[in-house]
Amino acid sequence: MQKKKVTATVKSQREIAKGIYDLRLSTKLAAEASAGQFVCLYPKDKSTLLPRPISICEADKEDETLRLVYRVAGKGTAEFSGLKEGETIEILGNLGNGFPLEKGAGKRVFIMGGGIGIPPMLELARRLSAEKQIIVGYRDRDTFLKEELEQNGSVYVATEDGSVGSRGNVMDAIRENGLGADVIYACGPMPMLRAIKGYAQEKGIPAYISLEEHMACGVGACLGCVVKTKNIDSHSHVNNARICTDGPVFEAGEVDI
């Protein structure tokens, strides 16, 4: 699929948790989006030089709508949070690879998300034909997207303060509920992904993880978002992969995290 820079129109936006925004954009890119891909949004403020990568939460092909759920983390995302219905924004998409749906088809799967790594797991849960156990980790009782995830599988929640579900992280929720799976899909902060990789190796099951990383170009040219891998990258000729183009989804055993 060829990536395109297009002008998208804001359909709606609302704050769904503290500092977490739900942005819906009208764009034909929705027709080609895969679960696990992302887009880059360009701020209008020219002092903010780089686009901001945001994962695709949902892609409605018929309605030509991309849904992006993101956290305000700096100047660029703060600008995006002020977007109103009818305004336009430049976006580049669709970027990266998606989750391999065929690997989990008909099996017991864990769909695991932590923090702002939760949004892309909604589209995955919608598309995956499997026995879905959705394990999500939050800081506190601001469990954004939980109700929608519950429409697509059995949901288990962990919160750092113990206000909802299991106290601790997603691995604590797995242990507390005695869960098991044949395949794992995950997105979240690096400590969570490291723990999932270790768990998958211990259990001897495949795990596909989406890496979160700061990106500059988003198209693989700058080598600003590399991860060590088993294989040699054809672009840099070293044991690196570019998260923006070779990822963001990798088989956990292929990357050194």
Q: Could you write out the DSSP letters of every residue in 177-216?
A: HT---SEEEEEE-HHHHHHHHHHHHHHT--EEEEEP---S
pLDDT of 172-210, one tens digit each? Answer: 999 999 999 999 999 999 999 999 999 999 999 999 999
Report which of 145, 95, 141 is spatially closest to residue 117, judged by C-alpha positions.
145
Q: Which CATH number belongs to the domain containing residue 193 in this structure? A: 3.40.50.80
- Given 212, 228, 243, the domain boundary residue is 212
Q: By percentage, how much of the chain surpasses pLDDT 70?
A: 86
Q: What is the pLDDT of residue 218?
A: 53
Assess whether 85 and 55 both reside in one domain: yes
Cβ atoms of 83 and 89 closer than 8 Å:
yes
Domain match, 39 and 106 both: no
DSSP state letter for 148: H
pLDDT band at 212 (very low <50, low <70, confident <90, very high): confident
Residue 34 within a domain: yes
Look at residues 95, 123, 151 and tell me which one is the last residue of a structural domain. 95
Q: Could you tell me the residue range of the domain that residue 159 belongs to?
A: 101-212
What pLDDT sits at residue 257? 77
What would the pLDDT profile of 144-172 be if each residue is shown by its tens digit?
Answer: 999 999 999 999 999 999 999 999 999 99
pLDDT value for 214: 56
The confidence band for 90, taking pLDDT boundaries of 50, 70 and 90, is: very high
- Whether residue 103 is predicted with pLDDT greater than 70 in this model: the reply is yes
Tell me the CATH number at 86.
2.40.30.10
Q: Are residues 202 and 111 part of one domain?
A: yes
Q: Which residue has the higher pLDDT, 214 or 87?
A: 87
> What pLDDT score was predicted for residue 254?
87
pLDDT of residue 13: 98
Q: Which of 212, 232, 248 is the last residue of a domain?
A: 212
Q: Where are the alpha helices (DSSP H) in 97-189?
A: 119-127, 146-150, 170-177
70 and 142 in a single domain? The answer is no
Average pLDDT score over the chain: 90
pLDDT at 34 over 90: yes
In a domain, 255, yes or no: no
Task: Identify whether residues 91 and 64 lie together within a single domain.
Answer: yes
Write down the pTM of the prediction.
Answer: 0.91
Do 193 and 108 share a structural domain? Answer: yes
Whether residue 153 sits in one domain with residue 86: no
257 or 211, which is more confident: 211
Q: How many domains does the chain have?
A: 2
pLDDT bucket at 46, cuts 50 / 70 / 90: confident
Residues 63 and 106 in one domain: no
Radius of gyration of the chain (CA): 18
pLDDT of residue 196: 97
Query: Are 197 and 115 within one domain?
Result: yes
Quickly count: other Cβ atoms within 10 Å of residue 171's Cβ: 18
Question: Is residue 240 domain-resident?
Answer: no
Q: What beta strand segments (E) does the chain contain?
A: 4-17, 20-26, 38-42, 52-55, 58-60, 65-71, 88-95, 108-114, 131-138, 154-159, 166-167, 183-188, 207-211, 226-229, 240-242, 249-251, 255-256
CA angle 180, 211, 220 (to 5 degrees): 145
Residues 60 and 76 occupy one common structural domain:
yes
Question: Is the residue at 61 inside a domain?
Answer: yes
Asked if residue 248 is part of any domain, the answer here is no
Residues 56 and 126 in one domain: no
Instruction: Answer yes or no: is 239 within a domain.
Output: no
Quote the longest CA-to-CA distance of the chain.
Answer: 51
Confidence of residue 92 (pLDDT cuts 50, 70, 90): very high
The region of weakest confidence among 58-62, 144-148, 194-198, 218-222 is 218-222
173 in a structural domain:
yes
Same domain, 108 and 69: no
